[in-house]
Chain A
Amino acid sequence: MQLEVSELRRYFGNVKAVDNVSFAFGTHQIIGLVGPNGAGKTTMMRIMATLDEPTAGDVRIDGVSVVQYPERGRRLLGFVPDSLPSHRDITVHEYLDFFARACGLRGSLRRRVLESIEEFTNLTNLREKSIHALSKGMKQRVSVARALLHDPPVLVLDEPAAGLDPRARIELRELLRTLCDRGKAILVSSHILSELEQMITGVVILERGKLVHAGSLQEVLRQVTAQRIVRVRLLDGADSAVEKTLCLPHVESVTRADQTLRVAVQGGDAECAALLAEMVRQGISVVEFQMESVALEQVFLAVTKGEVA
């Protein structure tokens, strides 16, 4: 199963909300969709959810065009919009039952599905509570439960963590990880990058409607910067090791803290491997050699300029 966005464009008059965006991802993946406000994230997600139509391009789920065949697309995709459910005078169970009926689930199957979804999303104890009386976190759970009713292989979530307290965020993160493990392909947008980077397997960065970068965090880093930071823990001889390391090719700077060196390397994986080999060859007693992970925030700041469409 694969979701493909190909050459997607959405123009509102002169405004290019989404401008020629293409990427693809598959099952067992959580992809973060990030970008400044007005970058076109919500527009793109609404197109995926068949609530809007592109000016050009297509979105395919398992080869089915959701643009041409929205009815088929809706069966393959679960959408969680950025707004929370706001129906009045209806309980959680009745709300989910309504959407289960709308999805065409009938009879005992509907009852079984509702029970399993309520259990999975920890809503069993809240099923008789009015939706209106729920907290934001609980409403978000209801939203996710609604999107899961027809067991879609693809989930699209627009700002699901917005306004949630830390506990609700952690619960949501765990829920999405479990869904990913169960074989869902998940696209999630968020402004809370530190939260996002703990669950995503890849990232799509948009700015002014254009795709800036797409790939895993490390891939994106490779694309945006030519420098790596390597943390090297030594057994002893840190003073001489600093001098020797500075003389090695591709090394830009070395910072020392006790027996640990922080080495800035100009280049990619090959240069780092060469550095390790050279350090060992020169007799430096390396205990640990580790690439420093890059925060999503750093990547985001490196590739975007904060411009809106």
Chain B
Amino acid sequence: MSTLNQAKPRTAPRFVPDWLTRFAERLADLPNPIVVKELRQAVRGWTALAMLLFYLIVQLLVVGLMLMDTPENLLDESALGNQVFLAIQILLIVTTVGLLPLYAGTRLFLERTDVNLDLMFATPLRPVWLVLGKLLAALVLGLLFFSASAPVMTMAYFLRGLDLVNSTALLGLDILMMLTAVQVALLVAAMPVPRPVAAVLGLGLIFGLFGTVVYLISLSEEVMVMSFFHRPDDYFLLVVLALSAFFITLFAFTATHALLSPPPSNRLFSFKLMLALTPPAFWILLGLLSWKLTDLWNRHNWHEVVHFWLIGLTKFQLVAGWLAWMIAISERLEWGPRLLAQVPRSRWLRVIVFPFYSGAANGLVFALLLTVIRWFTIVVGLLMESWIYRPTSYPSFLQNYFAHNVETAWVGDGYVLVYALTAFNLRRYWETRRGKLFPGWVVLLVLSTVTSFVGVLLAIIGSLLDFPDRLVSHAFVLVPLPLVDSLIGEHLEEELLRAWPYPLAKWLVIFCSLLMIIPTLVWWLGQVRYFRPLPRQGAEHREKTPVPQVTENPGPETTWQLTAGAG
């Protein structure tokens, strides 16, 4: 190793004791480097400062106008404190849940479009620190806005009429929602899509943030005006909101981390864990909280509540399953040495972690695993309906829900499987035989669009020809969307189930599944053999083949001089 970094420290007169300097230096080392960089940039840039100045001016104007507008004799008795707090609350929500996420997202988007991310990942800085740093920096900026409002809030408290419990709960919810909004904005900014698609995503984000801001403002009004949080059910709503925000943040965090990590790394591990564990964890917590905080369980039979709860869980699992298929068909076909270096040496552990590792072969198993878990939930629902409880005791909308849906559910899953595997095999063929690289999800999107178009075309032709069977317009044979719809909504109409396209669709699903499963299975079996840890580096190093030297090492230039009397 060379010794470049050997400059002596500058000696300046010291007025601060050494131990204090050391302590300050240690303190300065604590924050994540990204947080330090982001905050420095925020201080030097005009955007964050302009936002803060604008915020302070608007806050001053609003509060000033409110106070000037209120007759002096009402100051003691009215709920002026309440109104002032509400005004500040609205201002805070618009700034921290609406504008701050856009600022954070734009910063990441601008940074990831050039060489900067490469430079960061050429250092020992890990992607998880990057995402966490961006989130924490936004949190610090957000807290700056909160602290800017602290004096006015304190004043609102002294103006009377302010419910401390309600206001504290709302502020806590604001901070959590701010974190969620920032993390979702970072996720959108991290998506590796072309600029037009990024613009569409950005617009979607703006609409989403606008909706959240409107909802939070209306909730704040309800809480402050009607003393909302004074009933148990209200607390339940607050907890559900907080829990949803927490899980969405966690989900978006792992997804952003996966998108920003270099493709050769095992970048999907944490995201897959989240995808597998989030729906049940969220739903179990929700069930427990509804039991503790609401009288839902007293108002209804408990098995009805559990039944409804199970239906909700299957919906979450369904969406997670689709996402898993989409990711599986887009993952890399082969594992690189960087990932294989992280494969456990224990065979049993290898089997357990296999579905969660990055790679198409792993992704397919993971998607199947989620489907199996969902079917396990459906079977539990069926058992409840058929054997454990009498269905007649259920409300009408719950009666035989699983029994009615189970047939459409498996055909729907079959469609998803066939579409996913067809897209995967097409992509695999183009990549390995033709050398063309297409992301799996793009192939799936094109495939679905084409078949949907054919379905719509069939429907138009059917109506032009006055075809008597209106079921043609449903185009079950090709279009997966009606069946997917049926999984989310209620079971299919009896008329549709009995008509000819539906049985045809079932047989088509079975036939196409076999057609697609066989080549995929052959590929998978061939591939899975390579999921082994690499030999230890020492052994490999001894076996390596010699490589040609570009030039012999000349060493540093040396000059010999004859010097008289040197001894």
Contact = CB atoms under 8 A, between A and B. Distances in A.
A102 B120 contact: yes
Given A102-B33, A102-B124, A90 B431 contact: no
Given A6-B547, A204-B550, A214-B548, A153 B121 contact: no
A216 B551 contact: yes
Interface in B57-105: none
A86 B45 contact: no
B36 A146 contact: no
Q: Which applies to chain B's interface (DSSP): helix, strand, loop or mixed?
A: loop
Interface in A83-142: 83-91, 94, 97-99, 101-104, 106-108, 110-113, 115-117, 119-120, 130
A112 B9 CA distance: 6
A4 interface: yes
A268 interface: no
A88 B436 contact: no
Contacts of B341: 68-69
Contact of B6 (A70, A74, A116, A146): A116
B554 interface: yes
Contact of A28 (B434, B436, B555): B555
Given A29-B550, A85-B116, A50 B22 contact: no
Nearest to A49: B122
Given A83-B115, A102-B123, A151-B2, A89 B551 contact: no
A7 interface: yes
A7 B124 contact: no
B121 A51 contact: yes
Contacts of B4: 116-117, 120, 148, 151, 179, 182
B2 A31 contact: no
A134 B121 CA distance: 24
Contacts of A65: 337, 537, 540
A23 B265 CA distance: 26
Contact of A74 (B40, B114, B123, B551): B123
A107 B2 contact: no
Interface in B256-277: 262-265
Contact of A201 (B37, B111, B551): B551
Contacts of B556: 28, 181, 183
Interface in B108-148: 110-111, 114-116, 118-125
A300 interface: no
A210 interface: no
B336 A53 contact: yes
Contacts of B29: 101, 106-107, 110
Contacts of B469: none
A24 B434 CA distance: 34
A33 B22 CA distance: 45
Given A90-B40, A117-B4, A146-B119, A5 B26 contact: no
Given A112-B5, A119-B7, A23 B537 contact: no
Nearest to A21: B547
Contact of B2 (A4, A182, A201): A182
A274 to B, nearest CB: 25
Contact of B116 (A54, A64, A86, A113): A86
A298 interface: no
Contacts of B121: 50-51
Contact of B549 (A25, A27, A84): A25
**B4, B8, B36 interface centre (most CB from chain A within 10 Å):** B4
A36 interface: no
Interface in B1-20: 1-10
Contacts of B40: 89-90, 94, 98
Given A81-B118, A94-B40, A107-B26, A23 B33 contact: no
B545 interface: yes
Nearest to A148: B4
B470 interface: no
A181 B555 CA distance: 8
A281 to B, nearest CB: 33
B557 interface: yes
B123 A151 contact: no
Contacts of A70: 265, 338
A291 B541 CA distance: 41
A107 B18 CA distance: 13
A112 B1 contact: no
Contacts of B436: 13
Interface residues of B, number: 66
A88 B45 contact: yes
B45 A89 contact: yes
B435 interface: yes
B111 A24 contact: no
A191 interface: no
Interface string A54-94: 10001010011101111100110001010111111111001
Contacts of A69: 341, 537
Given A14-B435, A75-B124, A148-B4, A51 B262 contact: yes
Contacts of B426: none
A216 B553 CA distance: 11
Contact of B37 (A74, A90, A112): A90
A192 interface: no
Nearest to A48: B122
Nearest to A70: B338
Contact of B550 (A24, A113, A148): A24
A135 to B, nearest CB: 18
B44 interface: yes
Given A13-B434, A117-B4, A202-B550, A68 B534 contact: yes
Interface string A194-208: 000000011110000
Contacts of A15: 435
A81 B262 CA distance: 16
Interface string B314-345: 00000000000000000000001110110000
A241 B7 CA distance: 60
A52 B264 contact: yes
Nearest to A15: B435
Contacts of A75: 124
Interface of B: 1-10, 22, 25-26, 28-29, 33, 36-37, 40-42, 44-45, 110-111, 114-116, 118-125, 262-265, 336-338, 340-341, 431, 434-437, 534, 537, 540-541, 544-545, 547-551, 553-557
27 contacts: A7-B545, A29-B551, A53-B337, A69-B341, A71-B124, A74-B124, A81-B122, A84-B115, A88-B110, A89-B40, A90-B37, A91-B44, A101-B29, A102-B123, A103-B123, A104-B124, A107-B29, A111-B9, A112-B8, A115-B7, A116-B5, A119-B7, A181-B556, A182-B2, A182-B3, A183-B2, A201-B551
Given A52-B262, A106-B25, 15 more contacts: A14-B435, A15-B435, A23-B549, A25-B549, A29-B553, A51-B122, A53-B264, A64-B537, A68-B340, A70-B265, A79-B122, A89-B41, A112-B8, A119-B7, A202-B550
Q: Top 4 nearest A-B pairs by Cβ distance?
A: A14-B435, A116-B7, A13-B435, A53-B264
Interface of A: 1, 4-7, 12-15, 22-29, 31, 46, 49-54, 58, 60, 63-65, 67-71, 74-75, 79, 81, 83-91, 94, 97-99, 101-104, 106-108, 110-113, 115-117, 119-120, 130, 146, 148, 150-151, 153, 179, 181-184, 201-204, 214-216, 219
